[in-house]
Amino acid sequence: MSDTLTSTSTSNMTSYLTKFWQFFKKVWLFLANAIGSLVLLLIILAFLGSSLSENATNLPTISKKVIRPGGNEVVAVVNLSGPILESGQTTDPLGFSSTMIAVDRVKELLTALEDDGAVKAVVLRINSPGGAVVASDELYQVVKQLNSVKPVVVSMGDMAASGGYYIAAPSSEIIANPATITGSIGVIAQFPQLSGLYEKLGVEMRTFKSGEFKDIGAVDREMTQAEAEILDSIVTDSYDQFVQAVTTSRNLPEEEVRRLADGRIYSGRQAQANGLIDQLGNLDTAIQSAERLASVDGAEVIEYSNQSFFESLLQSVSIRSPLAQLNQALPSTSFRLYYLLDL
């Protein structure tokens, strides 16, 4: 009798465990499918939605809204946030850890605003630590051209440093909050040196090159003096271009700009005292200055963003693929110059 009860109890327990395991598998599969479907949906929205939005308008972004109704005359406010990069420089479509100032998109937008007769002035709301040298210079040239046609006023956000200041320089007026971080006028290039790590791992790089300097900046060995001099000359030349841009745009003596351009950062108040900006204020101050310079009153204010709705969506859910994280973690062996605040 006892053996029969024990057998029955064991059989019941096995049945319960089997049912629980089947239920658990169903729940697990449901959750896995739901998460997978959500990720796939976001990917489809990011690609298809972005493409549809850009085809639906002449402007390269759908992020556009009226922030102050007015008459037929328009003051355009363009938000430029994030590092300044050549468009397509991100290698992973889901690697949006932050916004980015994509050069070709911003160039399209500013060119469209330049050609729009209703737009009488443009306010650039810049919040950027800087970025790539070539990308920053391309935007500098576009802002300079736009300012020759209609007034451009810069409103600095939390930070408009290095390349962020570079693209602000050719505007008619620069306005910053007293606590804005700006300046950082200079150039930086960095190379990892991993020969010690390679030695510990037993890794040996074998290089075949057509000339002495073809592998300049190689990470598996110490840099030679001749290589250092070559790279230093390139950094110096890019720095000289930055200094000349500020000297011309801000109408300051070159020796004064070089004194200020040692890479240090300035608060908005310090920047004003040194002639790097024109006045202290906020976005409203910049809009008022734009109206004054354009000789308009009560204009409609339309806000544009260099980031599309779908990019904002991806950023808000903080999706980052392993490929994007790996790309950020691995050192780059390519030579790049940056007008960038290195915090």
Cβ-proximal residues to 54 (8 Å cutoff; 6+ apart), any chain: 60, 61, 62, 308
pLDDT (tens, 9 = 90+) of the chain, 343 residues, equals: 555 545 555 566 566 666 666 776 776 777 767 776 676 666 666 555 444 444 433 444 446 788 889 888 999 999 999 899 886 544 333 343 447 888 888 998 999 999 999 999 999 999 999 988 999 999 999 999 999 999 999 999 999 999 999 999 999 999 999 999 999 999 988 888 888 888 888 888 888 989 998 888 888 888 899 999 999 999 999 999 999 999 999 999 999 999 999 999 999 999 999 999 999 999 999 999 999 999 999 899 999 875 554 444 444 444 444 434 434 444 444 556 677 665 5
| Phi–psi pair at 153, nearest 5 degrees | -120, 135
Cite the active site residues: 162, 214
- Kindly give the pairing relationship between strand 173-176 and strand 64-68: unpaired
Instruction: Evaluate the CA torsion angle 137, 316, 47, 52 in order and state its sign.
Output: negative
Angstrom distance (rounded) from CA 200 to CA 63: 51
Beta strands in the chain (DSSP E): 64-68, 74-81, 84-85, 101-102, 119-128, 130-132, 152-161, 173-176, 181-183, 265-267, 279-280, 300-305, 338-340
Question: Domain limits of the chain?
Answer: 1-56, 66-340
Please state the pTM of the whole predicted model.
Answer: 0.74
The one-letter code for the residue type at 107 is K
C-alpha angle 244/87/132, rounded to 5°?
A: 35
- For 282, other C-beta atoms within 10 Å of its C-beta total 14
Q: Report how far apart, in Å, the C-alpha atoms of 62 and of each of 53, 58, 112, 316 are.
A: 6, 10, 14, 17
CATH 1.10.150.20 applies to domain 66-340: no
